[in-house]
Amino acid sequence: MTADLSLSAALDLVDIPAVRAAVILVVGLVLVSVLARFVQRRVARRGSAHWALVSRKLVAYAGAATVFVAAARTLGLDLTALAATAGVATVAVGFAAQTSLSNLIAGLFLLVDRPFEIGDSINIDGNMGVVRGITLMSTLVRTFDGILIRWPNEVVLKSTILNYSSLPARRVEIRVGVAYGTDLPRARRVIREAISDLEIVLVEPTVDVITRGFLDSAVELEVRAWVAQGDFVQGRTAVVEAVHRSLADAGIEIPFPHRTIRLADGAKPRTIDVPATNPSSEVNRVPEGVQQAQKT
């Protein structure tokens, strides 16, 4: 008898519109959340993480809107009048939250336009890092030194974005100076052969070595080699080491500046090798009482 009364009371309670609306909201939002995650996993298996995220958001927002409409109808609300009221309220809120709305619209453009995806290495305003997340309000990027940057989507949309991951290959460019007496065609050939033998360097496009111009103490060469996008750091290291090793084995000098100074007391000049070229370096500072005479 007690069980029948409890069941009857529960059924009577469910007949109350407010309770039915609350049940629809709770159960509906939970089901929408589960469905959105399911769709994200399925899309991620067949496509990219970017489209998986977009699919999840579309399902979540569309489902949430459907649940709220169903709950409003259960309460007997006039959706036409509610839409008109919401329109006026939206205009008022729009003036008060222009920045948030701008970020929201920019987030939609970023999700659809896809200038980058989750996991891409990008550069925004000189800050390089890996994209960790794209929301409707902001973009999260983890820099290579472990700092998490949150950019408002409006700022990202207006910025120049360099995407290092969008193409399958990247070019490594290394500049090196050789002495003025060097046989330049031979130096280029030695470098080209050494770089071409590296397994990490792509066969196509081919390795190229050009003569750029004249420096104070050297003729500058530029090495251009292509590596897979994911091997850029290792490829750059391998190219630098191969250039240094090949020139050393061929007896080709990589010059560094020499500076001649005169002592203030009139002593004979002496030459000092300066391995660093940074004027602020301790190595390059002329001691007190010493006057610089010339640079060769």
* Residue 281: per-residue pLDDT: 40
> How, if at all, do strands 121-124 and 148-152 pair?
unpaired
* CA distances, 293 to each of 37, 145, 176, 259 (Å): 73, 43, 28, 9
All structural domains of the chain: 2-96 (1.10.287.1260), 115-163 (2.30.30.60), 169-249 (3.30.70.100), 258-295 (no CATH)
Cα separation, 125 vs 113, whole angstroms: 19
Cα separation, 295 vs 159, whole angstroms: 44
Q: Residue 213 pLDDT more than 90?
A: yes
Phi then psi for 287, rounded to 5 degrees? Answer: -60, 160
Average pLDDT over all residues of the chain = 79
Neighbours of 91 (CB within 10 A): 9
pLDDT, greater one: 223 or 2: 223
Cα separation, 213 vs 222, whole angstroms: 10
Cα separation, 159 vs 142, whole angstroms: 17
Cα separation, 229 vs 158, whole angstroms: 26
Residue type, 238: A
Q: Is the pTM of this model over 0.75?
A: no
Q: Residue 276 pLDDT more than 70?
A: no
Which helix (H) or strand (E) segment holds residue 163: the answer is strand 161-163
Q: What is the pLDDT of residues 110-154, one digit of tens each?
A: 878 888 988 899 999 888 999 998 887 899 999 999 999 999 999
285 CB-side CA count, 13 A = 5
Q: What is the pLDDT of residues 145-191, one digit of tens each?
A: 999 999 999 999 999 999 999 899 999 999 999 999 999 999 999 99
Cα separation, 153 vs 139, whole angstroms: 6
197, 249 in Cβ contact below 8 A? no
Cα separation, 143 vs 132, whole angstroms: 10
5 token code pair: 């009364």
Mean pLDDT across 261-269: 61
* Residue 221: per-residue pLDDT: 97
Which helix (H) or strand (E) segment holds residue 141: the answer is strand 138-143
Burial of 251 per CB tally in 10 Å (0-12, 13-18, 19+): exposed
83 token code pair: 């839409």
* Residue 291: per-residue pLDDT: 44
Q: Cis omega before residue 275 (within 30°)?
A: no
